[in-house]
Amino acid sequence: MKQKTIVIRYSQAFKHQVIKEIEDGLVTITEAKSKYGIKGAETIQLWMRRMGKFGSLPKMIRVEKPDEKAKIKDLEKQIRQLKESLADTQVRYLMAESQFEIVCEQQGLDPEEVKKKLEQKNSAEQ
Question: How would residue 78 be classed by pLDDT, with cut points 50, 70 and 90?
Answer: very high
pLDDT tens for 28-76 read 889 999 999 998 878 888 888 888 775 555 666 777 787 888 898 999 9
Instruction: Work out the mean pLDDT of the chain and round it to a whole number.
Output: 87
Contacts of 35 by beta carbon, 8 Å cutoff, 6+ apart: 27
Do 17 and 47 contact (CB within 8 A), yes or no?
no
H-run or E-run covering 16: helix 12-23
pLDDT score at 57: 57
Interval 74-82 mean pLDDT? 95
> What pTM was computed for the model?
0.41
Task: Using the predicted structure, report yes or no on whether residue 126 has a pLDDT greater than 80.
Answer: no
